[in-house]
Amino acid sequence: MAASSFADRLNEQIAYEFAASQQYVAVAVHYDAETLPRLAAFFYRQAVEERNHAMMMVQYLLDAGDQPRIPGVEAPRTEFADVVEPVALALDQERRVSGQIGALAQAARDAGDYAGEQFMQWFIKEQVEEVSSMSALLAVAERLRDKPMDIEEYLAREAVVQEAIDPTAPPAAGGAL
Ligand SMILES: [Fe+2]
Ligand SMILES: [Fe+2]
């Protein structure tokens, strides 16, 4: 059945979002242990966002009458050579997810699943923002790789423009954190 194949793929995506969340927790803890609290805070917050993405997908499946399957996730990477490597890993991850989200929107469209296609629109916009902010952070981290305190300074300044609650975000199962 066409519609359930979109549901199956969305279920797979739940695993990728939880895995992204775990990876960002691992990156945050790494920076925290290095006494880089702004970098840690940035990734702790990203971890919560990824968790919320997973729970939005869970809620969508519940609403659509499909049984969400909560997955186990692979262990994240926890060892990093320098201050730049985790950000480069994060950007790779965001680019990969952008491809996955695009493929999901395509699968919904191919199945004639308009509700599914509409659901994916918010994630498409979200990925544009996440790739953009991670690209900016990578550029800064590469420029300042020998001065991590200056990266901290940058994040302290940029934190002022932290995103407010997005009223267009899909509801998350149990409520967004
Ligand atoms: Fe995500
Ligand atoms: Fe993300």
pLDDT at 1: 43
176 CA to centre of ligand 2 in angstroms: 15
Cα separation, 21 vs 94, in Å, equals 11
In this prediction, residue 164 carries a pLDDT of: 67
What ranges in the chain are assigned the alpha helix state H?
2-33, 37-63, 85-110, 114-143, 148-158
Ligand 1 centroid distance, CA of 49 (Å): 7
Interval between CA 16 and ligand 1 midpoint (Å)? 8
For every one of its 177 residues, what pLDDT tens digit does the chain have, with 9 covering 90 and above? 444 589 999 999 999 999 999 999 999 999 999 999 999 999 999 999 999 999 999 999 999 999 999 999 999 999 999 999 999 999 999 999 999 999 999 999 999 999 999 999 999 999 999 999 999 999 999 999 999 999 999 999 987 555 667 889 999 999 999
pLDDT tens digits, 57-70 = 999 999 999 999 99
Whole-number Å distance, alpha carbon 108 to ligand 2 midpoint, is 21
CA of 172 to the centre of ligand 1 (A): 13
Residue 55 near residue 65 (C-beta atoms within 8 A): no
pLDDT of residue 158: 85
Residue 162 is predicted with a pLDDT of 58
CA 118, 120, 123, 124 dihedral sign is negative
Cβ burial of 48 (10 Å; 0-12, 13-18, 19+) is middle
Query: What pLDDT is stored for residue 167 in this prediction?
Result: 87
Distance 106 CA to ligand 1 centre (A): 17
